[in-house]
């Protein structure tokens, strides 16, 4: 591994090592660039992942304080945990459930497709689907996505059989075990899925793709990566001309360090990325970096997520098998006759016994609550994954009343649901209930919106600099050598789980950064 000097002004500094940061680090180091990755978390491995759900949660989750406001259910149900992502090398690719669908072409043209939707800040992506597809193909090969490039699908689990039978009864056509970044056969030096059902705790087989054991070690092997763990970026500095030139961070011993940089790329997930931009205010940029249009932190999207459980009179044993390996895609369409714009997926889901009552079930206690738990063996599960509407006031801000361990204001997450969001959730819950009812469910239980895992759009790409934070390559409109390299840069949420798109955009950004550096434009 490289040791890059603090004073080395040629370094590219990447903040975060997940789907965006880890991919970008690998792509830049293999092209010969010197890269420092600042990762706030520790480094785990397939050997150290805990197999006790509560411990695994503490081992991997970003638990630094956040506050929240707004009317979405998370504020009430999970007051201290608005979002659920990772703080560990590999970022959220360590606990993700590996569903890797693509955006539909019309989803990238959200504003044009949906028309004017009052109370939203919808815009079109500055990238065509044709162009993005090139990078989807690269990303799918890289991640070994099932049902692409002749990679077979994952075999159907019990939980999927239930969903499938109901979906077919309803006449749904596009129902299968999903496009998953989980090996259905050994590939790329990683083993095949043995259906453990512990995707969220970190895959001890390494069958599920994560930058932790693919891109990060490969970047290290180039000799060009200086990975600094337990290093929390707290501020980005700039020179008199407004170019960023250094990152201030706290190292594992709490010491403040300053790393000079030629280019800075932020990939800290949808909450920390805008927070860092806002924390880096200066006399030249009084509202934070890349924020001349006032767009940093705004338009935060989290997708429409919610559990639906079917209780049957026979066992399902839903915990056996890959957590999310199944999907119904028929509702991924824009059909306003349903009462809303945009589409949603119905995806398979299961939760381990300790986690189900904490995250998966509606608030409750007493006989009714206990009767659901009594049926744990007979429970089948699905989760909604739908497009939510961007709103200018749904935003990440600094809460100056609450400070983190470094004395810095924490992020506040504000979400008010749009009527479109509510209509979509209601439709999805109704359809998913019908899926289970059609094959004789004794009861269907509608779960809550869990803490958000798909945090996107909070520093979005836009063709018009007044409507977003970056251009089509994640390069900030205001500062040429400052990049956004994670889901924050997505323009809209779409109905696809975001990771494949984040990887595709990172691959595309790596080409651009390399080209622009060679041309001495940045």
Partner 1 sequence: MDRLVTLNRRELLKTTTGLLTGWVIAGSPLALIAPAPAWAVDLTAFTSAEGTTLMSIARTIAPHDKLDDAAYALVIQAVDGDAAKDPNTRKMIGEGLAALGAGFAASSESERVEALKKIESSAFFQTMRLKTLQVLYSSPIAYAYFGYEGEAFSKGGYLFRGFNDLRWLPEVAAEDSGPLPAGA
- The binding site for partner 1 (CB under 8 A) comprises 51-54, 146, 152-158, 160-162, 164-165, 175-177, 184-185, 192-198, 201, 204-205, 314-317, 319-321, 352-354, 356-358, 365-367, 369-370, 373-374, 376-377, 439
Q: How many whole angstroms separate alpha carbon 18 and alpha carbon 309? A: 31
What's the closest the beta carbon of residue 266 comes to partner 1, in angstroms? 34
CA atoms 132, 134, 138, 140: torsion sign: positive
Closer to partner 1 by CB, 214 or 350: give it: 350
* HSE-up of residue 264 (Cα within 13 Å, Cβ side): 28
List of residues 6+ apart from 489 with CB closer than 8 A = 459, 460, 461, 469, 470, 474, 505
Q: How far is the CB of 156 from partner 1 (least distance, A)?
A: 4
Give dist(CA 292, CA 295) in Å, integer: 8
DSSP-based three-state secondary structure for 245? strand
DSSP classification of residue 154: P
**Least Å distance between CB 175 and partner 1?**
6
How far apart are the C-alpha atoms of 184 and 328, rounded to whole Å? 19
Pick the closer one to partner 1 by CB: 63 or 419.
63
Q: Which is nearer to partner 1, 156 or 446 (CB)?
A: 156
Contact 114, 334 (CB under 8 A): yes
Report how far residue 171's alpha carbon sits from residue 192's, in angstroms, rounded to the nearest whole number: 32
If the CB atoms of residues 196 and 295 are measured against partner 1, the closer one turns out to be 196
> Rounded to the nearest whole angstrom, what is the least distance from the CB of residue 310 to partner 1 in the complex?
12
Taking the complex as a whole, the smallest distance from the CB of residue 162 to partner 1 amounts, in Å, to 6
Rounded to whole angstroms, how far apart are CA atoms 511 and 388?
30
What residue ranges in 415-499 does DSSP mark as E strands?
Answer: 443-446, 482-484
CB of 219 to partner 1, least distance (A): 27
Closer to partner 1 at the Cβ: 174 or 466? 174
Closest approach, Cβ 328 to partner 1, in A, equals: 11
Per the CB < 8 A criterion, the answer to whether 514 and 521 are in contact is no
Q: Of 242 and 357, which CB lies nearer to partner 1 in the complex structure?
A: 357
Report the distance separating Cα 177 and Cα 431, nearest Å. 19
Return the number of the residue (65 or 358) whose C-beta is nearest partner 1: 358
């Amino acid at each position: 591994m490289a040791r890059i000097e603090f004073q080395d002004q040629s370094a590219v500094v990447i903040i975060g090592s997940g789907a965006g940061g880890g991919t970008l680090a690998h792509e830049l180091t293999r092209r010969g660039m010197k890269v420092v990755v600042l990762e706030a978390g520790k480094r785990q491995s397939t050997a150290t992942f805990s197999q006790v759900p509560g411990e695994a949660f503490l081992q991997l989750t970003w638990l630094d304080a956040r506050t929240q406001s707004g009317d979405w259910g998370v504020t009430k149900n999970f007051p201290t945990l608005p979002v659920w992502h990772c703080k560990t090398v590999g970022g959220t690719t360590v606990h993700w459930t590996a569903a890797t669908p693509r955006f539909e072409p019309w989803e990238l043209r959200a504003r044009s497709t949906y028309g004017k939707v009052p109370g939203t800040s919808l815009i079109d992506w500055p990238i065509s689907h044709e162009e993005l597809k090139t990078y989807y193909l690269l990303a799918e090969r890289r991640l070994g996505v099932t049902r692409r490039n002749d990679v077979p699908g994952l075999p159907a689990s019990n939980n999927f059989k239930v969903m499938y039978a109901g979906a077919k009864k309803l006449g749904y056509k596009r129902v299968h075990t999903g496009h998953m970044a989980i090996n259905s056969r050994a590939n790329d030096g990683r083993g095949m899925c043995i259906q453990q059902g512990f995707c969220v705790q970190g895959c001890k087989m390494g069958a599920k793709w994560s930058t932790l054991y693919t891109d990060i070690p490969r970047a290290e092997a180039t000799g060009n990566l200086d990975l600094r763990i337990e290093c929390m970026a707290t501020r980005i500095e700039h020179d008199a001309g407004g170019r960023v030139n250094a990152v201030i961070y706290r190292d594992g011993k709490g010491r403040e360090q300053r790393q000079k940089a030629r280019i800075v790329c932020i990939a800290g997930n949808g909450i920390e990325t805008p927070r860092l931009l806002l924390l880096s205010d200066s006399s030249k940029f009084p509202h934070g970096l890349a924020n001349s249009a006032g767009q940093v932190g705004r338009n935060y999207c989290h997708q429409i997520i919610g559990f639906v459980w079917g209780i049957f009179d026979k066992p399902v044993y839903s915990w056996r098998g890959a957590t999310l390996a199944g999907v119904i895609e028929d509702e991924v369409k824009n059909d306003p006759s349903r009462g809303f714009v945009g589409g949603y997926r119905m995806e398979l889901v299961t939760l381990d016994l300790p986690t189900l009552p904490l995250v998966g079930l509606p608030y409750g206690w007493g006989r009714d609550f206990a009767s659901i738990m009594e049926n744990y063996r007979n429970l089948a599960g699905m989760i909604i994954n739908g497009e939510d509407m961007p709103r200018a006031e749904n935003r990440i801000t600094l809460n100056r009343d609450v400070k983190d361990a470094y004395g810095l204001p924490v992020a506040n997450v504000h979400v008010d649901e749009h009527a479109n969001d509510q209509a979509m959730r209601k439709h999805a819950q109704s359809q998913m209930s019908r899926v289970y009812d059609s094959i004789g469910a004794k009861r269907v239980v509608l779960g809550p919106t869990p803490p958000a895992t798909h945090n996107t759009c909070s520093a979005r790409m836009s063709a018009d600099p007044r409507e977003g934070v970056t251009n089509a390559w994640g390069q900030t409109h205001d500062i040429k050598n400052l990049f956004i390299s994670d889901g924050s840069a997505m323009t809209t949420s779409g109905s696809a789980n975001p990771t494949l798109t984040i990887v595709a955009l990172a691959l595309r950004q790596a080409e651009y950064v390399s080209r622009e550096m060679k041309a001495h434009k940045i």
